[in-house]
Amino acid sequence: MSKKKAEFNEPTFEEALSELETIVKLMEEGNLSLDDALAKFEKGIELSRLCSRKLAQAEKRIDLLLCSESGELKLQPVDLPEDRDE
């Protein structure tokens, strides 16, 4: 499979995170067989790496956007929304 086709089928960050949260909940319940738990764990690691990669890509894009015309990085504080209780 070509890289472009693989990326096309790749879940978004939000989809991957949602699936990862579902896997964590299933594993925390403790009702999975060993084989199922291992399969979920492997999928969770894959999703975790995907999320990390997508966050790193977003950080690089932000760095490019914050770079001055002279090539110097302008560090600017970013106002993040406060953590919400879920």
pLDDT of 20-35, one tens digit each? Answer: 999 999 999 999 999 9
Q: Residues with Cβ < 8 Å from 44, sequence gap 6 or more?
A: 20, 23, 24, 27
What's the token pair of residue 71? 């090539």
Q: Which helix (H) or strand (E) segment is 23 a member of? A: helix 13-29
Cβ 47 vs Cβ 16: under 8 Å: yes
pLDDT of 36-84, one tens digit each? Answer: 999 999 999 999 999 999 999 988 888 777 776 676 766 665 555 554 4
Distance of CA 31 to CAs 26, 35, 43, 66, 86, Å?
7, 12, 17, 48, 24
Prediction pTM value: 0.67
Ordered by where they begin, the domains of the chain are 3-65 (1.10.287)
